[in-house]
Amino acid sequence: MKIKYILIATATAALVLSSCSDFLSEASQDEVRPKNASDYKELIAGEIYEKMNESSTVNSWLDIMTDDCEELAKKASTLAPDKRTAGFGYYTWQQEPERQREGVLNSDASWGTYYHQILVCNMILNDIDKLDGTDSEKAGVKAEAYMIKAFAYYMLVNLYGEPYDPQTAAKAAGVPINDLVGAENKKFQRESVQTVYDLILEYGENALKLFKISDSGESVFRWNEAAADVFLSRVCLYMQRWDKAAEYANEALAIKGDVWDLNRKATDDASAGDYMDRLFTSRNPEILFSYGYSTEIFSAEGAGSCYPPSKALLAMYEDGDLRGGRNGMYIRYLGSFFSGKKYAPFKSFMTSYTSRYGNAIRTVEAYLNRAEAYSHIDGKAQDAIKDLETIRRNRFTAAKYKPLEATTQESVVQAVRDERRRELCFERQRWFDLRRWGRPSITHTYTPDLKKPNETETYVLQENDPAYTLPVPKEVLEMEPDLTDIKRPERNPQNQ
């Protein structure tokens, strides 16, 4: 019989109406009260990690808002359906992106998902010291709970908060902070971007201290010390705290610094078997933490009309770069009729039936984060290039590999950004990077009628556009009408 912990036996809405002790006092025959730290560790696995693997709706539209995607308009069929419709509002940066072109509401599940994770972790952190277990066991549970909260707030503030700018962060609109563990009649308001980022760093530091005294193990399916260091280096990049970003990256790489040689991978793939030729697999030594659902819905392999990798992204991969091209390991040309004869993301596949991993925090990001930090620190430009070369030597065929020739600080900064785009494509970081790199203008085209392929609409996201921040989901605003929202402009096609 499957164990169900009464703490999370009901929906999130119900969680805020009763205290944790009330929940724990009522258990049916197939429910058990958490008694020790290991029970909460299992709860985290089931209620947070596994649920992230089950959902395809959380952040599935992040990449189609960027310059890494464009439209592919082909006649739909049963075998190759039109995947564009549900993502239209995000792809064209509409005032209400949840709405499909025909007006149907596609509810944004991200807000509710992340705040549910925060609430569960609040309750765990509030109760863990009252339960049985060693100090080391409890430290491991606490560390994971803090990292889950840190990552949840990172996603929330980068989706629904204004972009971080050191000059304006103290006044810029962030997201609400929920520190409740039970019922309380409280109106939630947005905190500043600075407040949210400071809290992310606080939670991350708490986690690092606890990981060092815990027996949390080395599973890549749970938050761990190395992954936490990489994540915090990323956060410090967003905050332009270059020295701290490099410091966290150093800590991560001291734990593990493997880079997978894609030349070796290509040789091994021949004997790996079905579905094992992707980047995110158990064979990848770069993976520090694997999480979430992996299918790219809007650029799906089996879709006819969709939002596949853009020509601009494809052009980023030079001859000999094993990541791109027709047989690329990150982006690959799929030539069958069923696949729509297009390029598609090829890093991962459905974790539910292939044993492949979903999203991941990798060692390579630590090199990229450190390189970016070094590119902004006087006297460190060539150290930045060395980090990039550590990656590139393992990404090109030996015959085609050429060292980078960036010499000025400006060229080094651009080299880092270009390599980050190539390496982290379709890992749901491009949109956040664009938000912090000046919020450039992006142009997307859309074909309203597949029977008239020559009649297209052009949509433009302007430089520094307010639509670089998403609106609060409509279902949330209906429940919290006093919550202030971002003012996004109406967006019509420019060629009408």
pLDDT at residue 274 above 60?
no
- State the pairing for strand pair 331-334/342-345: antiparallel
Percent of the chain with pLDDT over 70: 85
| Cβ proximity of 319 and 326 under 8 Å | no
pLDDT at residue 15 above 50?
no
Burial degree of 398 (CB within 10 A; 0-12, 13-18, 19+): exposed
Residue 163 pLDDT grade (very low, low, confident, very high; cuts 50, 70, 90): very high
Lowest-confidence pick of 64-78, 185-199, 418-432: 64-78
Each residue's pLDDT tens digit, 390-416:
999 999 999 999 999 988 999 999 999
Residue reference for tokens 């991941």? 360
Range 39-66 average pLDDT: 86
Burial degree of 420 (CB within 10 A; 0-12, 13-18, 19+): buried
Say what the pLDDT of residue 114 is.
95
Residue 58 pLDDT grade (very low, low, confident, very high; cuts 50, 70, 90): confident
Four-residue CA torsion sign, 126, 127, 129, 134: negative
pLDDT at residue 27 above 60?
no
Among 6-10, 183-187, 327-331, 417-421, the range with the most confident prediction by mean pLDDT is 417-421
pLDDT at residue 492 above 70?
yes
Say what the pLDDT of residue 469 is.
98
Name the residue type at position 422: R
pLDDT at residue 3 above 50?
no
- Pair of tokens at residue 386: 């060395």
| Cβ proximity of 407 and 385 under 8 Å | no
> Chain-wide mean pLDDT for the chain?
87
Report the alpha-carbon distance of residue 163 to residue 467 in Å, rounded: 11
**Interior CA angle at 486 toward 71 and 241, to 5°?**
85
Burial degree of 327 (CB within 10 A; 0-12, 13-18, 19+): exposed
pLDDT at residue 293 above 90?
no
Burial degree of 460 (CB within 10 A; 0-12, 13-18, 19+): middle
Say what the pLDDT of residue 44 is.
93
- Pair of tokens at residue 81: 């359906």
Range 30-41 average pLDDT: 80
Domains and CATH numbers, the chain: 35-56+94-216+460-486 (1.25.40.390), 256-264+274-438 (1.25.40.390)
pLDDT at residue 26 above 60?
no
